[in-house]
Each structure stands twice: as structure tokens, then as C-alpha cells.
Amino acid sequence: MSGNVMHDSPTEFLHDVASEDGRCVAQSVIPVGDGGYRCACSCGRWDIIAPGRAEGLRLARVHTGTEV
């Protein structure tokens, strides 16, 4: 036991807000292994493939209307 814990699971974002279905409370950006990133929102109405992680995060902000 080294104490080092692998914690790289973006899918937990959605698990944490399962009870908030239908609302834009959390977005996930998950690599799909093809150079793209699948971006989804807890509202269930937003699900896209972005060309990169940064772009996915930007689009997530646009979706939720919190882009600065």
C-alpha cells in the first residue's frame, strides 16, 4: 500500500448529481480514445464530441451560460 490513489474518473461527476437529473448542475468531459472528448451534461440534453479537452470544457461553459 503506497497510499497513492488513482483518481481520474470524470464519470463520477455525473454519479454525484444523479438526483439532479434534468438540470445543468454538472458537466463531464471524458476521453473517448479517438483524440476526441465526449461531453455530457447532467440535464441529459447536451451530449457532444469535442476535438479536445479544453474545447470541451469551453463548450460546457457555453452550454450552461457561464462562459466569461
State in angstroms the smallest separation of the CB of 6 from Zn ion: 28
Q: Does 13 bind Zn ion (CB under 5 A)?
A: no
63: Cα separation from own chain's centroid: 12
Which residues in the 18-47 window bind Zn ion by CB under 5 A?
24, 41, 43, 46
Q: Where are the beta strands (DSSP E) in 4-46?
A: 27-31, 37-41
The minimum distance between CB 58 and Zn ion, in angstroms, equals 15
Instruction: Output phi, psi for 64, to 5 deg.
Output: -85, -10
Applying CB under 5 A, which residues contact Zn ion?
Answer: 24, 41, 43, 46
